[in-house]
Structure 1
Amino acid sequence: MRKRQLVLEDGTVFIGESFGSEKVTTGEVVFNTGMTGYQEVISDPSYCGQIVMMTYPQVGNYGINRDDFETISPFIHGFIVKEVCDYPSNFRSEEGLDSYLKANDIPGITGIDTRKLTKVIRQSGTMKAMITTMDDFYEVAVERLQNMPMQRDQVQQTSTVKPYVVPGRGMRIVLVDFGMKHGILRELTKRNCHITVVPYNYGTENILRLKPDGIMLTNGPGDPKDVPEAIEMIRNLLGEIPIFGICLGHQLLALACGGDTEKMKFGHRGSNHPVKDVKTLKTYMTSQNHSYAIREHSLENTDLEVTQFALNDHTIEGIRHAIHSAFSVQYHPESSPGPEDTSHLFDDFIQMIKHDQVKKEDAYA
């Protein structure tokens, strides 16, 4: 392996070894606390534009398989591990991590002190970083990073370009793709839904022409305020069709209802985040990946009610509209990877649609 360096915009430098692609890359460096699930992490579109570090010390030990991808083409800009496993051992393994990253032109760096890097991010917050060769002077890299603007087009990069259908005989769901994980599709197809996947900017009128029973707002990367057309679309659909939002879709629902969002210091990324339900007082372990959160005080003069909150930092994890059929969660109920404690929310969505249909039938009677 060749020597590489990881340079942060604050001037911090880590020296390690290269694996995966040899190209120079830049992005926002973040950390994920999951002990497993690196394949799903790498292929999660919500990491678009980011360099992802795994805090678990050895990564790649069970290889890469055909079943655990969350998108066809990954969008991450780089991958950081303490130790990469060169010889994976698992009955499902079909390829090594190094080979997969090379095939997808994703640079990696191994052999650095990931505990120290985690502490730097926790203390200073996420920041821009570069994985580069030892030939580059780090002073030049730092200057380039400090002058580099943050990416604002992640949703445009990850959303589908044209609508497509995943046929089923059940509820007709329009899935607005902001950077969807395939796990969401899997959960809806398990329930025999007829799914029409549409781009993030498909528009209210076009969605209504599809005559959906319900609307799913998916996860996705970046700042929710960077997609104002989606906020306007959700605002127009509230009260017309039941809505279920996940992750970025959760933040967009809050903005559409008059709430506000803010960037977190280092976000939530991992498969071990405890969330408490306000009504049932139950605690769920959840899978999360987000940099932004809803401002709690911004909901005071809205019709939104807080349904769940994070036990670690008390950020808002669930909301529900007090008048219309709409709810959302900040975490990933489809897991992929992570615990399946909250997969019942997809059933709750179906039940909400049925209840809404009954109310409309009674109103017309």
Structure 2
Amino acid sequence: MQARLLLEDGTLFTGKAFGSEGESTGEVVFNTGITGYQEVLSDPSYCGQIVTMTYPLIGNYGITRDDFESVRPFIHGFVVRRLEEVPSNWRAEYSLDSLLKEYGIIGISEIDTRMLTRRIRHHGVMKGLLTTSNKPVAELLEQLKANPLMTDQVSRVSTKSVFSVPGTKERIVLVDFGSKSGILHDLTKRGCNVVVVPQDTTAEQIRRLAPDGIMLSNGPGDPKDVPHAAKMISELLGEFPIFGICLGHQLLALACGADTEKLPFGHRGGNHPVKDLISNRCYITSQNHGYTVKEDSIANTELEVTHINNNDKTVEGLRHKKYPAFSVQYHPEAAPGPFDSSYLFDDFIESIRKFKQDNPRLPKQAQLSAASKLAGQSGAADASKGELHYAKK
């Protein structure tokens, strides 16, 4: 079956369809990863986007459920040069084509992905329409221009209820703006007791959970589309250690008075060099974002830049000068890799322990009892067991 990808500037690509049938609109972006197409497909940060893989052969090692970064894919389309229909991997459970069919995602292969990538790099990301229909191009272009890009991606991908993953060490509240499961994995393998909360959780609700630290996850879209999150972060600064990743990094910057802007074509792939300004060391990082913190907006805040991108010198890391809060634009959980920056999770745990030493609070059991009592005023909670339910007002 034939499939077509139409860009908003009128550029048309015709190729071979795979996955589902139908039509889908989204922001066309590219990812430079050689491996990790399954993690790309299942990363909630791609919600609302049509993803182009620059590596020419995709699907060769199939799909394995254990490697998913979320419960389901949220992308709006998948573009590849060549689709391998028969995977060769002892772990493979089914093919890429089967996965896209299962979740109603359209794929297109046998197009010049190098030309498409060069066009995006030159003109910037743009809207695109992926279709298996036979509609005239003029009609499709009119339809594409009439459909705005979505702005509610975070609410679409975030968990709708609180849940916990028990552990024996530090109690971490993970605010889910579209979190990859790799973040949860890195926290739990360090023994953390993780409580995952929805993106619209308030500062007061987080206080009731009596956390030792707060993790701000990655997520899709423009950080300015979730102003309530920046407000929540600003209210909690100084009360708890905070670590932000990707969208969480941008939201921490907004909460501290800095500004963000959209990049021409973003950073997406597993080969982005980042320089640590403190150690003067360079790390190869995994990235997926279309927005960045404006460096000139940081001067009038309490933030300082800790990392920069070696390619375009954009801000890759921030640290608060007064409070135990820091963030990075890239992904230290790095599924499927590289793992150069996993030490940041250890730094976060260490900042929590130091903060607790410097700011002794109630004994843990009394703290949890107080949290449970507070939570009972607006819902039911057993903070010691991590079973929490909030009554919606």
What TM-score, normalized by structure 1, do the two folds share?
0.98
SS in 2 for 1:291: strand
2 CA distance for matches of 1:40 and 1:4? Answer: 24
2 CA distance for matches of 1:76 and 1:361? Answer: 45
Q: For residue 17 of structure 1, what is the aligned residue in structure 2? A: 16
What whole-Å deviation, never above 9, does each CA across 1:81-120 have from its counterpart, x for those lacking one? Answer: 0000011101111101111111111100000000000011
Matches within 5 A, 1:164-243: 164-243=163-242
2 CA distance for matches of 1:26 and 1:255? Answer: 29
Q: For residue 266 of structure 2, what is the aligned residue in structure 1? A: 267
What whole-Å deviation, never above 9, does each CA across 1:281-306 have from its counterpart, x for those lacking one? Answer: 10000000000000000000000000
Over the aligned positions, Cα root-mean-square deviation in angstroms equals: 0.9
SS in 2 for 1:285: strand
2 CA distance for matches of 1:199 and 1:83? Answer: 38
SS in 2 for 1:143: helix
Q: For residue 280 of structure 1, what is the aligned residue in structure 2? A: 279
SS in 2 for 1:28: strand
Letter in 2 for 1:219: N
Shift of 1:134: 5.2
Shift of 1:215: 0.0
2 CA distance for matches of 1:198 and 1:137? Answer: 46
2 CA distance for matches of 1:150 and 1:134? Answer: 21
Of residues 192-201 and 145-154 in structure 1, the stretch that sits farther from structure 2 once superposed is: 145-154
Q: For residue 336 of structure 1, what is the aligned residue in structure 2? A: 335
1 CA distance for matches of 2:120 and 2:126? Answer: 8
Letter in 1 for 2:168: R
Q: For residue 151 of structure 2, what is the aligned residue in structure 1? A: 152
Letter in 2 for 1:155: V
Shift of 1:133: 2.8
Q: For residue 46 of structure 1, what is the aligned residue in structure 2? A: 45
Letter in 2 for 1:22: E
Decide whether the 8 Å contact of 2:48 with 2:149 is kept in 1: no
Q: For residue 118 of structure 2, what is the aligned residue in structure 1? A: 119
1 CA distance for matches of 2:318 and 2:67? Answer: 29
What whole-Å deviation, never above 9, does each CA across 1:296-350 have from its counterpart, x for those lacking one? Answer: 0000000000000000000000000000000000000000122000000000000
For these two proteins, the number of residue pairs brought into alignment is: 361
Distance 1:99 1:254, change over 3 A: same
Q: For residue 319 of structure 2, what is the aligned residue in structure 1? A: 320
2 CA distance for matches of 1:160 and 1:66? Answer: 20
Letter in 2 for 1:70: E
Shift of 1:147: 2.4
2 CA distance for matches of 1:143 and 1:123? Answer: 23
Shift of 1:135: 1.1
Matches within 5 A, 1:285-300: 285-300=284-299
2 CA distance for matches of 1:96 and 1:150? Answer: 30
2 CA distance for matches of 1:305 and 1:334? Answer: 23
Q: For residue 65 of structure 1, what is the aligned residue in structure 2? A: 64
1 CA distance for matches of 2:261 and 2:356? Answer: 35
SS in 2 for 1:267: strand
Shift of 1:55: 0.2
Shift of 1:145: 1.7
1:133 aligns with 2:132: yes
What whole-Å deviation, never above 9, does each CA across 1:143-177 have from its counterpart, x for those lacking one? Answer: 22222212110000000001001000100000000
What whole-Å deviation, never above 9, does each CA across 1:183-213 have from its counterpart, x for those lacking one? Answer: 0000000001000000011101000011000
SS in 2 for 1:94: coil
Decide whether the 8 Å contact of 2:241 with 2:351 is kept in 1: yes
Letter in 1 for 2:189: K
Decide whether the 8 Å contact of 1:272 with 1:338 is kept in 2: no
SS in 1 for 2:258: coil
Q: Runs of 4+ in structure 1 displaced over 4 angstroms?
A: none
Decide whether the 8 Å contact of 2:23 with 2:133 is kept in 1: no
Decide whether the 8 Å contact of 2:106 with 2:131 is kept in 1: no
SS in 2 for 1:52: strand
1 CA distance for matches of 2:111 and 2:6? Answer: 12
Letter in 1 for 2:261: E
1 CA distance for matches of 2:297 and 2:319? Answer: 14
1:99 aligns with 2:98: yes
Runs of 5+ unmatched residues, structure 1 = none
2 CA distance for matches of 1:105 and 1:151? Answer: 18
Decide whether the 8 Å contact of 1:9 with 1:143 is kept in 2: no
SS in 1 for 2:188: helix
What whole-Å deviation, never above 9, does each CA across 1:9-47 have from its counterpart, x for those lacking one? Answer: 000000100000012111111000000000000000000
